[in-house]
Amino acid sequence: MELHILEHRVRVLSLARPGLWLYTHPLIKLLFLPRRSRCKFFSLTETPEDYTLMVDEEGFKELPPSEFLQVAEATWLVLNVSSHSGAAVQAAGVTKIARSVIAPLAEHHVSVLMLSTYQTDFILVREQDLSVVIHTLAQEFDIYREGPAPRSIPSRAQRTVSVSSRWTLRRCQPSPPPSLMSSSIHTVPLRRQPPVVLDPAPSPSLLSPSLRATSPLSWMLKRRKNECGIVAQIAGPLAAADISAYYISTFNFDHALVPEDGIGSVIKVLQHRQEGLGS
């Protein structure tokens, strides 16, 4: 498999809901007018608590500082995993990523943020952890550092690949008509039913058989400052059970979206994990 270190240097921000009005213009510009911005990586996620923004350096310049905007200290790099299928390169899928990337990094105390999209999955790591990431994963992956002059990281890889992509959850033309912009503004935020809240060491009562699934079902884990391995605690057991999931990290929480029709298997897997922690 191949691990691509994309050229984006990303900042993670929390926008308080009362301050959304102050950022309406730059957000519309970043979402729908890419030709007027040099931003190449942008993600907006709405939660009941706030709006989480993940933007590259150019996008970050578009957002004026204010009391409503909280910025994480670290700069994050974006990783993308792909595997060969014949002559084509395909996204590896979260299950493979959990087993081959997230778990090994957690063992080496490297924090990650996950961002699942319709087409692929991105892993964000702190820029300061890049050397540990490469050392940890070099034996299993062909690693490529992309940019204006793409190059391979010393490993088993002997060739370089340049990828220039703009990924979005909802794709539209670069300059959509006003009618499309008006309707899309209301549909882009990720809305979901109230999720089940799990601590990194969740209480067994939260995993009781009486748990009812919502649609879509979302597990939400509180991320404590400087804590690592949060995504791995859920992604690892689900991947081992071959249960598909999407993962979305926000400023304060990590969300795992699992198939509603497989909720019984999910609960059983997480109960087994909890029992293992208690023994």
**Runs of H (alpha helix) within the chain:** 24-32, 57-61, 94-97, 103-107, 130-137, 178-187, 230-240, 263-278
Q: Which amino acid is at 195?
A: P
Answer whether residue 187 shows pLDDT above 60. Answer: no
Output the 3-class SS for 217-272.
EEEEEECCCCCCCHHHHHHHHHHHCCCCCEEEECCCEEEEEECHHHHHHHHHHHHH
The percent of residues in the chain predicted with pLDDT above 70, rounded, is 65
pLDDT for the residue numbered 241: 87
How much is the pLDDT for 153? Answer: 63
Is the link from the previous residue into 216 a cis peptide, with omega within 30 of 0?
yes
Give tens-digit pLDDT for 219-276.
Answer: 555 554 455 667 788 888 888 888 888 889 999 888 888 888 888 998 899 888 888 7
Lowest mean per-residue pLDDT among 43-47, 79-83, 95-99, 249-253: 95-99
Instruction: Specify the pLDDT at position 50.
Output: 95
Sign of the dihedral through C-alpha 84, 106, 271, 197: negative
Lowest-pLDDT choice from 60-64, 122-126, 205-209, 245-249: 205-209
3 state DSSP class of 183:
helix
pLDDT (tens digit, 9 = 90+) per residue, 59-70?
999 999 999 999
Cα gap 256→245, rounded to integer Å: 6
